[in-house]
């Protein structure tokens, strides 16, 4: 199978086979992070631009490390230090950056749909690193990858997502990925943070933490998105923590081999107890490790897809010239002798 997406904007619209293809590619890249020399020449000579309009630690560092482990040059740009402060629009910023011919543009933006806008109006591949409350596709992939490593096949597993579902792009992408792969998803939180429209996606909604955790295989905790909340959705943080903080006692309702995930950053004592976050069931740091592999896979698939598209255009142009009656024959593509290997880590 080949990956046919020109951009990576969200989980929505991806088929089960495409999700599994990206996950399997990421698993082949994971081994690179265990080597003494953590680098392969796969994207040597290419440039990846990380354009972040919001604060980030894990996602931005992960994309930068992923690019460098593939031997690409990584350029990091924050809105706070860019021409945005001088009044430049997102579109003008993106057009100028794409004019420098990067292999891909990674965008995080507070406005939902911003990556889709850039993808429609720019030539270079765009990767969504989180847009408003819409989606965070690479986070969902690393979460699913971590679940698969511990529980095997996703199909038939029950995953609980707990917390601020309303404002969480992580929740939306995970719901799409997990249900596409056949998992049962339970959403748990205060009624004010559980959008009723999610019921149309075939998920369960629970307002009682312990009842929602009964018999689940995996628990994904979400932080409260205070920066996105425009009004009070619960009486106080103490009240929220009393009802929805994942404690050792609440964890007993889940299956004995349950795993605990959290996309970070964590608010200890609010949505998760430190004894749970640092306990034997936690796979939170494994998520971070898998994040590098997932982003290596996405960068690899998008940039090699761009290369193959160039190859096809070159071949088509040569054939067109030959069909016009000229004695000139189409030259072989520059990539004919350097096709993409079946396993990228072998490069």
Contact 95, 49 (CB under 8 A): no
Q: Which of 7, 69, 134, 136 is catalytic?
A: 136
Contact 187, 216 (CB under 8 A): no
- Between the alpha carbon of residue 224 and those of residues 165, 169, 233, 237, 347, the distances in Å are 9, 12, 10, 9, 42
Q: Which of 7, 46, 69, 108 is catalytic?
A: 108
DSSP 1-56: -----SSB--STT--HHHHHHHHHHHHHHHGGGGSSS---STTTT-EEEEEESS--
Terminal CA-CA length for the chain: 19
Contact 93, 82 (CB under 8 A): yes
Q: Is 58 a catalytic residue?
A: yes
Q: Which of 6, 58, 68, 243 is catalytic?
A: 58
Q: Tell me the HSE value of 113 on the side-chain side, using a 13 A CA sphere.
A: 1
Q: Is 108 a catalytic residue?
A: yes
Q: Which of 25, 42, 59, 133 is catalytic?
A: 59
Q: For residues 241 and 190, what is the distance between their CA atoms, to the nearest angstrom?
A: 11
Q: Cβ of 110: how many Cβ atoms within 10 Å?
A: 14
Residues sharing a CB contact under 8 Å with residue 175, sequence separation 6 or more, in sequence order: 161, 185, 187, 198, 201, 203
Q: Which of 110, 185, 177 lies closest to 139 in space, CA to CA?
A: 177
Provide the 3-class DSSP secondary structure of residue 108: strand
Q: Is 136 a catalytic residue?
A: yes
Q: Which of 218, 216, 163 lies closest to 188 in space, CA to CA?
A: 163
Q: For residues 278 and 287, what is the distance between their CA atoms, to the nearest angstrom?
A: 14
Query: Which DSSP helix (H) or strand (E) runs through 105?
Result: strand 104-109
Query: What DSSP designation does 262 have?
Result: -
Q: For residues 170 and 161, what is the distance between their CA atoms, to the nearest angstrom?
A: 10
Q: Is 101 a catalytic residue?
A: no
Q: For residues 115 and 124, what is the distance between their CA atoms, to the nearest angstrom?
A: 12
* Active-site residue list: 58-59, 86, 108, 136
């Amino acid at each position: 199978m080949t990956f046919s997406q020109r951009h990576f904007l969200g989980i929505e619209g991806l088929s089960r086979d495409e999700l599994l293809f990206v996950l399997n590619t990421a698993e082949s890249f994971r081994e690179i992070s265990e080597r003494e020399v953590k680098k392969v020449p796969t994207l040597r000579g290419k440039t990846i631009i990380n354009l972040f309009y919001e604060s980030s630690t894990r996602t931005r560092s992960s994309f930068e490390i992923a690019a460098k482990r593939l031997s690409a040059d990584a350029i990091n740009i924050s809105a706070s230090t860019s021409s945005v402060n001088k009044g430049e629009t997102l579109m003008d910023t993106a057009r100028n950056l794409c004019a420098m011919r990067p292999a891909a543009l990674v965008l995080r933006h507070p406005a939902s749909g911003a990556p889709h806008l850039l993808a429609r109006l720019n030539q270079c591949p765009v990767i969504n690193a989180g847009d408003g409350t819409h989606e965070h596709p690479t986070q969902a992939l690393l979460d699913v990858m971590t679940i698969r490593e511990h529980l095997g096949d996703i199909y038939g597993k029950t995953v609980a997502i707990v917390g601020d579902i309303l404002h969480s792009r992580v929740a939306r992408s995970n719901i799409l990925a997990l249900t596409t792969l056949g998992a049962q998803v339970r959403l748990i939180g205060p009624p004010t943070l559980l959008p009723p429209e999610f019921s149309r996606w075939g998920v369960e909604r629970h307002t009682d933490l312990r009842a929602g955790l009964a018999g689940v295989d995996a628990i994904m905790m979400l932080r409260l998105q205070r920066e996105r909340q425009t009004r009070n959705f619960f009486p106080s943080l103490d009240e929220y923590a009393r009802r929805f903080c994942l404690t050792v006692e609440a964890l007993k309702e889940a299956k004995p081999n349950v795993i605990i995930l959290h996309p970070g950053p964590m608010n200890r004592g609010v949505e998760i107890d430190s004894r749970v976050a640092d306990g034997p069931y936690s796979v939170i740091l494994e998520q971070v490790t898998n994040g590098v592999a997932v982003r290596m896979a996405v960068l690899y698939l998008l940039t090699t897809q761009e290369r193959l598209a160039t190859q096809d255009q070159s071949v088509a142009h040569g054939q067109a010239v030959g069909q016009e009656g000229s004695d000139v024959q189409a030259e072989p593509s520059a990539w004919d002798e350097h096709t993409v290997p079946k396993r990228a880590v072998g490069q």
